[in-house]
Amino acid sequence: MQPVRIAGVGSTAFGVHTERAGRDLFAEAAQTAIADSGVPRADIDHLCYGNFVGPVAEQQGHHGPLMAKAAGVTAPATRYESACASGGVALAGAIDMLRAGTADVVLVGGMERLTNLDTETATKGLAMAADDLYESRAGVTFPGAYALMARAYFEEFGGTREELAAVAVKNHAHALDNENAQFQQAIDVDDVLEAPRVADPLGLYDACPITDGASASVLVSDDYADQHGIDSAVSVTGSGQGTDTLALQGRESLTRTPATERAAADAYDEAGITADSVDLLEVHDCFTIAEVLALEGLGLYEPGTAIAAAADGETTREGELPVNLSGGLKAKGHPVGATGVGQVVELTKLLRGDHVNSDAVSDASVALAHNAGGTVASAVVHVLEVSA
């Protein structure tokens, strides 16, 4: 498939922005991305925008025209919703438009504003990503659901609580110098193990925070880039999307994520690569166990082996396969609708050499973004490569 060029990227800092409206956050991210791209606003053919709980958090639906106005564009605008994978799905939609030739320039982004809600309301809003009839009404929250997945993993494959804690320690270490990260503070394994237990075996430091923020990217076709002299260092060469049963009870296994497997297979096929080609990646680590499952679902580790990857140093900044150099959802933060695009923002900067952690991957040429919704009932995978 024809590559799609990433002309520009932008993001707000992720964290607590209680005093700012969602449209203000997205305006900042979009303005940064457009300025970074050098593309005139008038050339933008469409806005693809990801958001999940806006109708709950801000009592605001109909986000498309609202965010187009915030970004200063008059192009048609569409909101994409796929729970925590909303940003990734918006990105996939933008790529489809460019490859189909129905657009030459697409502004793609996402935003979520959650810290203005109390914990109970935020939890209730996020729970809409689960099966209301069979999970939410029975009292299953996402910490509980991922705890079930973690327990199933330990029972099937083994592994230790210390190995799982190493995932959180690693991602906090990666976020230390990332000015856009919500938590720029180091933790150790003891911090993770001694933190209040949320849902056994997961504790407070195994979970990502509630976050506000926005991210955006300007994507352009190869032809547009060539005709307008757009200097794009990074391209999207593969894109895939997968779906699984919404409720955990309907799945054959709690230790596999078929939605990720299907999305990855399609993305690899489009890009003409295998999992072995990947140099670095951003994965959806809403909980520490989610990073483990993602690495196995993406084909980077055999089932039952990714649990030790962080503890063994393989996925650290200095390791052979750096994972979540941004800090991941765990430390950078998880503004739900923005997360999938935010991953691509981070990877683009890492590949083109202007990220604070770029020196760790100076020879990298292939990166992968993995964005998931719910308990991975939805998954989107994108392959990014240094432009030829």
Evaluate whether residue 263 is within a structural domain: yes
Q: Does 20 share its domain with 152?
A: no
Question: What's the pLDDT score for residue 3?
Answer: 81
What SS3 state is found at 246?
coil
Active-site residue (options: 48, 84, 208, 286): 84
Contact 347, 336 (CB under 8 A): no
Continuous H helices in the chain: 22-37, 54-57, 63-71, 86-100, 119-126, 142-157, 161-175, 189-194, 222-228, 258-271, 288-297, 328-331, 336-352
pTM: 0.97
Across the chain, mean pLDDT equals: 97
Q: Does 346 share its domain with 250?
A: yes
Q: Does 268 share its domain with 353?
A: yes
Mean pLDDT of 338-358: 98
Q: In degrees rounded to 5, what are phi and psi of residue 312?
A: -85, 0
Evaluate whether residue 122 is within a structural domain: no
Q: Which residues of 310-348 are buried (b: 16+ CB within 10 A; e: fewer)?
A: bbeebbbbebeebbbbbbbbbbbbbbbbbbbbbbbbbbb
Q: Does 176 share its domain with 215?
A: no
Beta-carbon count within 10 A of 65 CB:
13
Active-site residue (options: 63, 174, 284, 334): 334
Q: Does 192 share its domain with 221?
A: no
Euclidean distance between CA atoms 130 and 59, whole angstroms: 20
Q: Does 87 share its domain with 168?
A: no
Q: Does 8 share its domain with 54?
A: yes
Contact 287, 202 (CB under 8 A): yes
Domain that holds residue 96: 4-117+211-238
Tokens standing for residue 291: 């990073």
Evaluate whether residue 318 is within a structural domain: yes
Closest CA to 2 of 261, 215, 219: 219
pLDDT at 1 over 70: no
Sequence length of the chain is 388
Q: Is 84 tagged catalytic?
A: yes
Euclidean distance between CA atoms 190 and 181, whole angstroms: 22
Evaluate whether residue 295 is within a structural domain: yes
Q: Taking every pair of C-alpha atoms in the chain, what is the biggest distance, in angstroms? A: 57
- Number of domains the chain is built from: 2
Residues linked to residue 381 through DSSP beta bridges, in sequence order: 240, 370
Evaluate whether residue 149 is within a structural domain: yes
* Residues 60-100 pLDDT 10s: 999 999 999 999 999 999 999 999 999 999 999 999 999 99
What is the percent of the chain where pLDDT is above 70? 100
Q: Does 198 share its domain with 277?
A: yes
* Residues 255-283 pLDDT 10s: 999 999 999 999 999 999 999 999 999 99
Q: Does 88 share its domain with 135?
A: no
Q: Does 134 share its domain with 264?
A: yes
SS (H, E, C) 90-143: HHHHHHHHHHHCCCCEEEEEEEECCCCCCHHHHHHHHHHHCCCCCCHHHCCCHH
SS (H, E, C) 273-323: CCHHHCCEEECCCCEHHHHHHHHHHCCCCCCCCHHHCCCCCCCCCCCCCCE
Q: Is 46 tagged catalytic?
A: no
Closest CA to 278 of 351, 366, 358: 366
What SS3 state is found at 187?
coil
Domain boundary among 187, 219, 238: 238
Question: What's the pLDDT score for residue 388?
Answer: 76
CATH number at residue 20: 3.40.47.10
Beta-carbon count within 10 A of 68 CB:
22
What SS3 state is found at 6?
strand
Tokens standing for residue 139: 């009292």
Question: What's the pLDDT score for residue 310?
Answer: 98
Q: How far is CA 39 from CA 6, 44, 68, 223, 231, in A?
A: 11, 8, 16, 14, 11
Q: Does 275 share its domain with 378?
A: yes
Mean pLDDT of 227-232: 93
pLDDT at 2 over 80: no
* Residues 138-176 pLDDT 10s: 999 999 999 999 999 999 999 999 999 999 999 999 999
Q: Does 218 share its domain with 205?
A: no
Euclidean distance between CA atoms 335 and 139, whole angstroms: 24
Euclidean distance between CA atoms 286 and 83, whole angstroms: 12
What SS3 state is found at 384?
strand
DSSP β-ladder status, 378-386 and 366-373: antiparallel
